[in-house]
Chain A
Amino acid sequence: MIAVIDYKAGNLTSVVKALHYLGARDVVVTQSPEVVRGADKVVLPGVGHFQATQLLAALGLTEAVRESIAKGAWFLGICVGLQWLFEGSTEAPGTPGLGAFAGMCEHFPAKEIKQIDGKEIAAELKSPHVGWNSLEQIRPDSRLLRGVADGSFVYFTHSWRAPVVNATEAVTYYGGSFTSALERENVMGVQFHPEKSADVGLRVLRNFVEM
């Protein structure tokens, strides 16, 4: 059974639709810690403000996720769901994340340094980062990104990004590198929206469904 956590952080219709499309039979949208604890796989989707993750603590879901991960269930965080795996985000300083990975998520810089005609120019970096950008330096032994080639495009829409850590298995460039996918044993996360990333995204979700 795949538990998709509903913490009122935006639209999960697309994620559920994609899982069904890929043949996942037992997909349950839930706010129940008990259901999460009993799941083989857990998906934490998310768009919008990091502060919305406060509801996870309030509903007892933070602990449920921790226990679920500890007993070996597969976990996939999407967008804010990935960011929540870290210590927190400067978007909502008072809201702690799960802390599975070290570091804080930060806002994209306001400017990026570009080389134009041999000179370094500080150009405005628009925010949020919206659109199709590429996955680079994909770790060859990745299970989540199996079959996905370096340079493959996926869809992003976010203003905060997660730092690069040991578990990072793909980076994307926008005002510097940030973690676009990470994986450590049964804990996985993607900054992009696999349910919105056409065939590449569906491949990533299929890999997760088939684990």
Chain B
Amino acid sequence: MLTKRIIACLDVRGGRVVKGVQFVDIVDAGDPAELAHRHAAAGADEVVLLDITATHEGRGTLLDTVRRAAAKLFVPFTVGGGVRTADDAAAVFNAGADKVSINSAAIARPELIGEIGGSFGAQAVIVAIDARRGTKSVEDAEVYVSGGRKPTGLRVVEWAREAESRGAGEILLTSMDTDGMRDGFDCELTAAVSEAVQIPVIASGGAGSAAHFADVFGRGKADAALAASIFHFGVTDSRELKAQLALAGVSVRLPC
């Protein structure tokens, strides 16, 4: 049967992997290409490379980093951060990415989703949504942009539905309330988005243990989950994480 995916996420700035806690507080943690290969070898089902400051400082994605990371990667490779136009996306695909993740550019101009999908296939377009709700209900969860700094006034579930109707292949949902805290995902919000769309939902923000992943795959109804800070400091690797998930009854790719 179709398994739940563990996706290793590398936040990159200036060609180096960095680690962020709620998008602040940067600490250097290695070479992106080396880490991408290491994650794939350690059983990650996919790798995502996010240029985390691109939107805030208006820079484009670092193609050379993408090329080097893609060179020996044989699992799906997604690149995001600063992809603003169909041309940006094309450059990223030509450098070796399989999918692109677009965030604020899609909110600014939703037509972009269909434009990229039209050329490269809908499955190649992930729409990333940064969500914040504090103590509010899932219905009132709001979409943020610019590295989680600016509220947009858009509701998360509604925007996810629109992104799907525009041709998004997957939704990458990051809860900014839980991101980097290693205390669990926002399962309620993830489930609400998963129920609202037919396309896969990738959960992000809050991973700290195998139990958190089991939770987001179960009551969170996620199809995949992102892991960033959990890996960067050797807390666990994908293979070990999946072994624990398998024991908890989650369907995962093993051996890997």
Contact = CB atoms under 8 A, between A and B. Distances in A.
Interface of A: 9-11, 13-14, 17-18, 21, 47-49, 124, 126-134, 153, 155-158, 173-174, 195-199, 201-202
Contact of A10 (B3, B45, B74, B124): B124
A68 to B, nearest CB: 26
B120 A173 contact: no
Nearest to B93: A11
Interface string B98-126: 10000000000000000000001111100
Nearest to B96: A13
B1 A174 contact: yes
B40 interface: yes
B98 A196 contact: yes
Interface in B61-82: 70-72, 74-76
Contacts, number: 92
B75 A14 contact: no
Main secondary structure of the interface of A (DSSP, over half): mixed
Interface residue tally on B, bucketed by range: 20 to 34
Contact of B169 (A21, A128, A201): A128
Contact of B75 (A9, A10, A198): A198
Given A196-B75, A197-B74, A126 B3 contact: no
B114 to A, nearest CB: 12
A199 to B, nearest CB: 8
A130 B123 contact: yes
B253 interface: yes
Nearest to A156: B2
Nearest to B74: A198
A199 B72 CA distance: 12
Nearest 4 A-B pairs (CB), nearest first? A48-B121, A47-B121, A132-B253, A153-B253
B2 A47 contact: no
B224 interface: yes
B1 A47 contact: no
A18 B72 CA distance: 8
B94 interface: yes
B191 to A, nearest CB: 13
Contacts of A129: 2
A47 B70 contact: no
Nearest to B90: A11
B169 A11 contact: no
A95 to B, nearest CB: 16
Contacts of A13: 70, 93-94, 96
B120 A11 contact: yes
Interface of B: 1-5, 40, 45, 70-72, 74-76, 93-94, 96, 98, 120-124, 169-170, 198-200, 223-224, 253, 256
Contacts of A14: 70, 96, 98
Given A131-B45, A153-B3, A196 B198 contact: no
Contacts of A197: 74-75
Nearest to A14: B98
B3 A132 contact: yes
B200 A126 contact: yes
A114 B224 CA distance: 21
Contacts of B253: 132, 153
Contact of A198 (B96, B170, B256): B256
B256 A155 contact: no
B198 A127 contact: yes
A47 B120 contact: yes
26 contacts: A10-B120, A11-B124, A13-B94, A14-B70, A14-B98, A126-B198, A127-B199, A128-B122, A130-B170, A131-B2, A131-B4, A131-B45, A131-B224, A132-B2, A132-B253, A153-B3, A156-B2, A157-B76, A157-B123, A157-B169, A174-B1, A197-B75, A198-B40, A198-B74, A198-B256, A202-B74
Given A17-B96, A155-B75, A198-B40, A131 B223 contact: yes
Contacts of A202: 74
Contacts of B76: 155, 157, 196
B64 to A, nearest CB: 15
Contacts of A47: 120-121, 123-124
